[in-house]
Amino acid sequence: MPPPFQRSWPELFTAAEWTGSGGYCEYFFIMIVALSIAVEVTRQWRLTQQRALLVETEKAKAALSFLKGQINEAYFSRRITKINA
């Protein structure tokens, strides 16, 4: 029997190596499982990155809002002081 790369697709998928113990079937299964795990890990990593970016954005917005509140307070107190003088 010729090596797998010299066989046609129908011969490759009906070959005994795919069904027997120690054949290609186990390797194919392991490759699919490894690929599935890699895809899931990548998806989870992207979700974590998106959540971290969202938290960082919210933190920056809160700091900016706090600083704006301080500026407005100082501005109004100076204006009131000038009006009362």
Global confidence as pTM: 0.53
More confident residue, 24 or 40: 40
pLDDT (0 to 100) of residue 47: 97
What pLDDT, on a 0 to 100 scale, did the predictor assign at position 78? Answer: 78
Number of neighbours of residue 17 by Cβ within 10 angstroms: 13
The boundaries of the domain holding residue 52 are: 4-84
How many structural domains is the chain composed of?
1
Nearest of 3, 8, 7, 28 to residue 18 by alpha carbon: 28
pLDDT for 9: 62
Question: Which 3 state secondary structure label does DSSP give 6?
Answer: helix
Q: Give the end-to-end CA distance of the chain in Å, rounded to a whole number.
A: 104
**CB-based contact 24:17 (threshold 8 Å):** yes
Q: Would you place residue 8 in the very low, low, confident or very high pLDDT band (cuts 50, 70, 90)?
A: low
